[in-house]
Amino acid sequence: MMVARDVDRTAWGRCHIPEPPDENVMNKHDWLTVLLILLIAAALAGCSPPVPTCPTEELVAPALLAPDNEAVVNTLLPTLTWSYPANCSPEGYRIDLSPVADFSDTSLSGGTGDPSTAWSPGEELEDCTVYFWRVAGINGTTLGPFTGSRALAVDATGSCEPPTPVPEATASISGLVWHDLCALPDASISVPPEGCVAGETAGAFQANGVLEPGEPGLEGVQLSLGAGLCPSGGLATALTGPDGTYEFTGLAAGTYCLSANALVEPNVAVLIPGDWTAPAPGGGTGQVSAPVTVGEGEAVPDQNFGWDYQFLPAPPTPVPPTPSPTPAVGSIGGLIWNDVCQYTGGSGGEPLVLGEGCTGDPAGVWGANGVMDGDEEPMGRVTFRLGAGSCMAPAFYASTDSNSAGYFMFINLPAGVYCLSLNPLTDGNDSLLIPGGPSNWPTVGGVLLITIELDAGESRLDIGVGWEWQHLG
């Protein structure tokens, strides 16, 4: 790695302070006058205040300034400049300078070591040669996103042949993010069911990482693309469509790092809990990546990512061990979300005006409309209880928490009458729900009670609970 040549760093809080006056000046003026002269001289010297350092997780791609893309430079030691589009700066910058477009050769690359926004290579470049460069902020050893790359041609003597034009970037990478199905029974097993393989932990099983007929695509998953070998990112992102497919287009020939992180939004709401099975097992990290090499204008398909949900699909109905019929089991579940009524006024003499998401009479009873609108958020970690029998005298049966997407479910339920309850004052719910109440169900003593009659094998997964926080919607 090359070391940057010296550059002007006065823009980063360093000042040129004049030399102290000589002894004759000191003798002619008292010390207060001398101090005032020094302060005025320092101000006129162009001092600038220091810029705060950006948090590592908020680093963004810099903006390249000069040379322009495909510019011809007449020096073997060109100066590369850029700016940082934020009111803070990284601790330093990483500069990749390479004779190849995919930056697989980094022998000329280097760093500033501080927030300077100008850099020159540590050794002379070859005349009549095309180079590619890009920049990323860095805090410690953590790189932020890279800029796109630019090309420059060196012609120090003015006698070089015109450089070969950089090929138009028309390559593409595409694929599918799919639900890798592995339905495990509740009972202990030693042989993995169809679609499953043994996991890393003894006795555990996971989906097999193979895209098989009938396995659905997953919508709304974000993938990232970076230049060069993995780990790399910051070049582009893509979201999967309704059928789970994605595509990166407008790519130059070279090697790229294709990756997905389940632990960042919007992926948390779509994927958690679970883990990757393809292109490689996630190992519980939530992250997976694969290098992809594309030729000029080449379309590389089938770069697929498999995801195995921890609790989906629901365990299959057990096969009866004897010819005698076994009653089918069912399930009860649904979704809880923050139901919001957007209103104005209602205090200080201002009339109450109900807006989006509201229902009722401003002069009487009003509140959230009990319908999950597009921008309303699901609520996770809310505890529901299920009792056997009617809500008049239920016997405790089970409890479960809603996941990060707001879904809750009780499975393997025989036919019968059940009482689904939600107590906002117990099970840790008070820190999530109080003050507030359901917008679409009545309560008894502040407790939500829903009596459900379940037929054999019936799945009641349509229980929607809108929760309206008091004064907050």
pLDDT tens per residue across span 417-438: 999 999 999 999 999 999 999 9
Structure-block tokens of residue 153: 């041609």
- 359 and 432 share a domain? yes
**What's the whole-model pTM score?**
0.42
* 150 located within any domain: no
413 plus 459 within the same structural domain:
yes
Please give the Cα distance from 129 to 100 (Å, whole number): 11
Q: What domain count does the chain have?
A: 3
Per-residue confidence (pLDDT) for residue 340, from 0 to 100: 93
Whether 365 and 413 share a structural domain: yes
CATH number at residue 423: 2.60.40.10
d(CA 287, CA 276): 8
pLDDT-derived band at 165 (thresholds 50, 70, 90) equals confident
Task: Single out the residue of 402, 384, 389, 408 nearest to residue 314, CA to CA.
Answer: 408
Distance CA 159, CA 74 (A): 10
* Residue predicted with more confidence, 163 or 362: 362
Q: What is the pLDDT of residue 89?
A: 95
- Sign, CA torsion 179/181/187/188: negative
Choose the weakest-confidence range: 29-33, 303-307, 311-315, 443-447.
29-33
> Cα separations (Å) of 11 from 15, 110, 112, 139, 146?
9, 21, 14, 19, 22
Token reading at 380: 């996770």
Say whether both 335 and 445 belong to one domain. Answer: yes
Are residue 192 and residue 295 in the same domain, yes or no? yes
The mean per-residue pLDDT over the stretch 90-111 comes to 91
Phi (first) and psi of residue 71, to 5 degrees: -75, 155
**Bigger pLDDT: 48 or 405?**
405
Question: 28, 44, 60: which is the final residue of a domain?
Answer: 44
Domain for residue 78, yes or no? no
**Region 140-163 average pLDDT:** 89
Spatial separation of the C-alpha atoms in residues 151 and 160, rounded to whole Å:
16
Look at 27 and 66; give whichever has higher pLDDT: 66
pLDDT of 96 above 90: yes
Q: What is the mean pLDDT of the chain?
A: 86
C-alpha dihedral, 156 to 159 to 164 to 166, nearest 10°: 20
> Average pLDDT in the 448-457 region?
94
Strand order of the sheet with strand 395-401? 395-401, 383-388, 416-422, 447-454, 443-444
Residue 437 lies in a domain: yes
Residue 392 lies in a domain: yes
> What is the predicted pLDDT for the residue at 20?
55
The pLDDT of residue 55:
95
Give phi and psi for 26, each to the nearest 5. -60, -35
Please compute the mean of the pLDDT values over residues 109-116 and round it to a whole number.
95
Residue 432's SS3 state is: helix
Q: Can you tell me the distance from the alpha carbon of 196 to that of 190, in angstroms, rounded to the nearest whole number? A: 12
309, 341, 364 — which closes off a domain? 309
**Do 300 and 375 lie in a common domain?**
no
pLDDT of residue 21: 56
The contacts of residue 323 (CB under 8 Å, 6+ apart) are none
16 occurs within a structural domain: yes
Position 443 in a domain:
yes
Q: In whole angstroms, what is the distance from residue 113 CA to residue 105 CA?
A: 21
pLDDT of residue 407: 97
Q: What percent of the chain has pLDDT over 70?
A: 87
The answer on pLDDT for 30 being more than 50 is yes
Domain identity same for 304 and 214: yes
Give the end of a domain, one of 277, 309, 341.
309
- In sequence order, the 6+-apart residues with CB closer than 8 A to the CB of 44 are none
Place of tokens 């002007």: 8
Range of the domain at 40: 2-44
- Cα(110)–Cα(95) distance, rounded to whole angstroms? 5
Backbone φ, ψ for residue 368 (5° rounding): -65, 155
Higher pLDDT among residues 317 and 308, named by residue: 308
The answer on pLDDT for 31 being more than 80 is: no
- 341 and 289 within one domain: no
Is residue 385 predicted with pLDDT exceeding 90?
Answer: yes
- Domain assignment present for 251: yes
Same domain, 301 and 395: no
Q: Is 34 helix (H, G, I), strand (E, B) or coil?
A: helix
pLDDT of 13 reads: 44
Weakest mean pLDDT among 114-118, 241-245, 343-347: 343-347
Looking at the fold, whether 263 and 184 belong to one and the same domain comes out as yes
CA 395-398-400 angle, 5° bins: 140
The answer to whether residues 182 and 291 belong to one domain is yes
Determine, yes or no, domain membership for 321: no
pLDDT digits (tens, 9 = 90+) for 37-57: 655 555 544 455 678 999 998
My answer on whether 380 and 418 are in the same domain is yes
Q: How confident is the model at residue 9 (pLDDT cuts 50, 70, 90)?
A: very low
